[in-house]
């Protein structure tokens, strides 16, 4: 006799009973981009439905998110003034610190995460202090600044820190900085395996963080390297990260599963701007059923091993899950 797998697929109730992977609104974290001013909500041309917002608009947006059941956000800042070291990122009156305070005051039940990096705050667009000889980021000087930045965010009331700069030793440095300042219970979600990807293009429009020279291949990962990708996350687990991450997600499903299988921590994935915009543009061209492809993509991340999905699709997906 041959196997009749279709017996379990014919009745829709049985199909649902046997569904192995389930997507929930509780899986989602929504990115928001803060800038100074009032009443600002500027749509990004390359990312339909994504906005740069003033703090008052972000506070309003959090109310919308909660109505949809989305309970977690990750914040990115766009400062008025950028300099060589990203001073605004380490200032208690900087754009992110002010946004965290405003959101937690209005929505204490919203889980607020901050992206911890310097690319949005430096005038050169790289992720830390530059080494003028090597023409790349000075790893160890940047570690000290990351620890300072983390403490500023912690004092503002953030619920979790998410360092994204791919500096060696960043989790150890941030953990020591937070613990020394009394924030021993503040979790760290590491962008532990982050690739130097072409999928980030539209993000640089919204975050205004394009490098003024070169690229980030000297500190972000080579997309060709699978074994090294696992090692990056394993080391961050050893250094004290509480949650790991693979970024981007769509072209790196194998790495998501590899990291999940080789570590014991919860795993986040970042469904990045280029992945989001591709679906939006394909829908505009009429070549895909947007809702179905979006949900299939998000389900794929979950099946690959994601516990948390950071995605610009979160609001649309939440609405569909409520139906």
119 annotated as belonging to a binding site for a ligand: yes
* 164 belongs to an annotated ligand binding site: no
The Cα-based distances of 142 to 120, 235, 238, 241 in angstroms read 14, 19, 20, 18
pLDDT digits (tens, 9 = 90+) for 196-206: 999 998 876 66
Range of weakest confidence among 62-71, 203-212, 250-259: 203-212
Q: Catalytic annotation on 247?
A: yes
Q: Is 134 left (phi over 0), alpha (psi -120 to 50) or beta?
A: alpha
Catalytic residue among 66, 104, 247, 280: 247
Residue 319, annotated as binding a ligand: no
Q: What is the largest CA-CA distance in the chain?
A: 72
Share of the chain above pLDDT 90, in %: 81
pLDDT of 282 > 80? The answer is: yes
For 21-322, CATH gives 3.20.20.70
Check residue 208 and give its pLDDT.
Answer: 63
| Per-residue model confidence (pLDDT) at position 214 | 61
Angle between helices 290-304 and 314-322 (to 10 degrees): 100
Which residue ranges make up each domain of the chain? 21-322
What's the whole-model pTM score? Answer: 0.94
Active site residue 194: yes
């Amino acid at each position: 006799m041959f196997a009749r797998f279709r017996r379990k697929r014919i009745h829709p109730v049985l199909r649902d009973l046997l569904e192995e992977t389930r997507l929930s609104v509780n899986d989602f974290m929504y990115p928001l981009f803060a800038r100074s001013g009032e009443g600002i909500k500027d749509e990004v041309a390359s990312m339909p439905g994504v906005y740069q917002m003033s703090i008052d608009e972000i506070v309003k947006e959090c109310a919308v998110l909660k109505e949809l059941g989305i309970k977690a956000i990750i914040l990115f800042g766009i400062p008025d003034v950028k300099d060589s070291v990203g001073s605004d990122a380490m200032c208690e009156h900087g754009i992110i610190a002010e946004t965290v305070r405003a959101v937690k005051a209005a929505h204490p039940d919203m889980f607020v995460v901050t992206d911890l990096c310097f690319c949005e705050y430096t005038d050169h667009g790289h992720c830390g202090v530059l080494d003028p000889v090597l023409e790349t980021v000075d790893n160890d000087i940047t570690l000290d600044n990351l620890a300072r930045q983390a403490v500023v965010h912690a004092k503002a009331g953030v619920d979790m820190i998410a360092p994204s700069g791919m500096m060696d030793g960043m989790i150890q440095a941030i953990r020591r900085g937070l613990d020394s300042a009394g924030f021993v219970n503040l979790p760290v979600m590491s962008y532990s395996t982050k690739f130097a990807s072409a999928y980030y293009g539209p993000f640089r429009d919204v975050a205004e963080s394009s490098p003024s020279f070169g690229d980030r291949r000297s500190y972000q990962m080579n997309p060709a390297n699978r074994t090294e990708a696992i090692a990056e996350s394993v080391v961050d687990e050893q250094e004290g990260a509480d949650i790991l991450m693979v970024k981007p997600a769509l072209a790196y499903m194998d790495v998501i599963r590899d990291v999940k299988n080789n570590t014991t921590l919860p795993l986040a994935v970042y469904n990045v701007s280029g992945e989001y915009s591709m679906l939006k543009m394909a829908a505009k061209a009429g070549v895909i059923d947007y809702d179905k492809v979006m949900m299939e993509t998000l389900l794929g991340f979950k099946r690959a091993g994601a516990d948390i999905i950071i995605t610009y699709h979160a609001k649309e997906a939440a609405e569909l899950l409520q139906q």
